[in-house]
Structure 1
Amino acid sequence: MRLKFALTIGDPKSAQIVAYQARSTGSSHLTKTDVLTALGMTQARHRAGLCLLYAKYTKDADAGFTALNELVKYANTQVRKYVGKIPGRKGAMAIRVLATKVLEEYCRTADTPGAKCRCGGSGEVCDRKATDREGRLIIVPCKKCHGSGLRPLTQTHVHHAILALVPGVSRATWYRVWSRFYEILLAWCYSQEAIAESEYQRITAMSSFYTESVAM
């Protein structure tokens, strides 16, 4: 079972993930206890990644708060490299606001209000011309969302939020400097997700192997 599907095994909160979970278990030998144990071990070793996933797929507020704090910590180690010293006394606030916006983007799913693309969140659409030409239904990735199922975002609202705290961040400065910082923070979220996923899969693979060995 994929980690994002396992998150709801104890207390489902996202209708979208519950639906995914129902068709993702496959021929697994893992019990509910095995999965919960694997989640606990993953959280102990890679808290940031697992909290990010909980915040994204179950919309858990506590996990979101922890994920934000972890993201702010990382941002503080990178800010001088990408932005330099932020003038004024609102530098720490600006970093937290930026991290909040990054987390909001990372946590968007097709069941997030207003996030769903015109394709209905599937990431796929019917190619009418190809369907008419071939005489059969032709499904292609949605050109609007590029298959993500999510309405594309601009960074304009993020720029305005930073501008309110750090005057002088022009549009050009935003895209030359701050936007790169934003993208690095977003990439960090996905890297932590991948690390947590890899650890969870390693733990469950060992557990499954042990269970099968005992059964034999």
Structure 2
Amino acid sequence: MNLENTVKYHFAKSTMISDSPRATASDSLTGTDIMAAMGMTQERAAMGYSAFLGKMGISNNDRDRAVALLAEYALTKCDKVAALRKLGAGVKPLVMRQLAIFAFEDYSRSAASVKQCDCCAGTGFLQADVFTNKFRKPEGKMTVSGMVKVKETVRVLCKKCNGTGTLSAACSDCHGRGKAMNKELTDKQGVPVMADCKRCSGRGYERIPSTEAYAAISQITDSISLDTWKKSVKPFYDQLITKFDIEEAWAERQLKEITR
């Protein structure tokens, strides 16, 4: 049994959790079996299992727990990076938690995810200056009023997100498929050739820019420059993202071991 099968338990319509009817599968797992297996997996691979459930949107508590566990892990490893080792005792845990939050968001992103519109900052509207023609009576005169242009600031619908405030995280080149036509190979062979999308490296979605994580860190401390971030802290941040993938794979192996 793999991790994806456990999702059915959280949204199950019956107490029998199996890919086939019980009448034709004598080794089907009952609801009690599943609960026991999930509990054991949680105990053996807490970070990976919580991260998976949080990624699947099963529980915000699991998301928070995964972030907390990664922040604790980061605290045990961050002193290997000089810029992080120099942080004060009160600042370091805050920085590690912020890195863990962004690491989880990047780890859990997919082609089906949405991101905040960077044009309207998620509001769905923009402030725009418009000029309108209005009738206005000249001061001190009792004559017929004249028409003048008046400048006003109004809210207009954001055209980029059509007022939703969000955009799809799917890659704009491959539209979430991870594959795109390779023009060079297509021209050479004379038939359409599909290859991993160069923009997203075959993921099918855009990753969260690391500069967003740096901007959040800068709100906590100004002791990490952008150059330092790029040279030493960003590689550490990338390792935290990879840590979730490693821990999820470990949870997968533990669940299979328990339910085999």
Q: Distance in 2 between matches of 1:101 and 1:75?
A: 13
Q: CA deviation at 1:135?
A: 6.3
Q: CA deviation at 1:73?
A: 0.9
On the 8 A contact 2:71/2:93 being kept in 1, the answer is: no
Partner of 1:81: 80
SS in 1 for 2:10: coil
Which of 132, 137, 150 is the matching residue for 2:205?
Answer: 150
Partner of 1:55: 54
Q: Distance in 1 between matches of 2:182 and 2:169?
A: 23
Deviations 1:28-81 (A, max 9, x none): 854353444432321121111100111112352111011011111101101211
Q: Which runs of 5+ in 2 are unaligned?
A: 13-18, 115-167
Partner of 2:110: 109
Structure 2 CA distance for partners of 1:86 and 1:112, relative to 1, 3 Å: same
Q: Distance in 1 between matches of 2:233 and 2:58?
A: 27
Partner of 1:40: 39
Normalising by structure 1, we get a TM-score of: 0.77
Greater displacement, 65-74 / 137-146: 137-146
Q: CA deviation at 1:138?
A: 3.3
How many equivalent residue pairs?
193
Q: CA deviation at 1:133?
A: 6.4
Asked if 1:69 is matched to 2:68, the reply is yes
Partner of 1:7: 6
On the 8 A contact 2:109/2:207 being kept in 1, the answer is: no
Q: Distance in 2 between matches of 1:192 and 1:72?
A: 14
Structure 2 CA distance for partners of 1:129 and 1:86, relative to 1, 3 Å: closer
Structure 2 CA distance for partners of 1:6 and 1:36, relative to 1, 3 Å: farther
Normalising by structure 2, we get a TM-score of: 0.65
SS in 2 for 1:8: helix
Structure 2 CA distance for partners of 1:37 and 1:120, relative to 1, 3 Å: farther
Name whichever structure is richer in helix by fraction.
1
SS in 1 for 2:195: strand
Structure 2 CA distance for partners of 1:39 and 1:167, relative to 1, 3 Å: same
- Identity among equivalent positions (%) equals 27
Structure 2 CA distance for partners of 1:133 and 1:110, relative to 1, 3 Å: same
- Structure whose alpha-carbon radius of gyration is higher: 2
Amino acid of the structure 1 residue aligned with 2:62: A
Query: What is the CA RMSD across the aligned residues, in angstroms?
Result: 2.7
Structure 2 CA distance for partners of 1:134 and 1:73, relative to 1, 3 Å: same
On the 8 A contact 1:7/1:58 being kept in 2, the answer is: no
Q: Distance in 1 between matches of 2:65 and 2:57?
A: 14
Q: CA deviation at 1:145?
A: 1.1
Q: Which runs of 5+ in 1 are unaligned?
A: 14-24, 206-216
Name whichever structure is richer in strand by fraction.
2
Q: Distance in 2 between matches of 1:126 and 1:36?
A: 45
Asked if 1:162 is matched to 2:217, the reply is yes
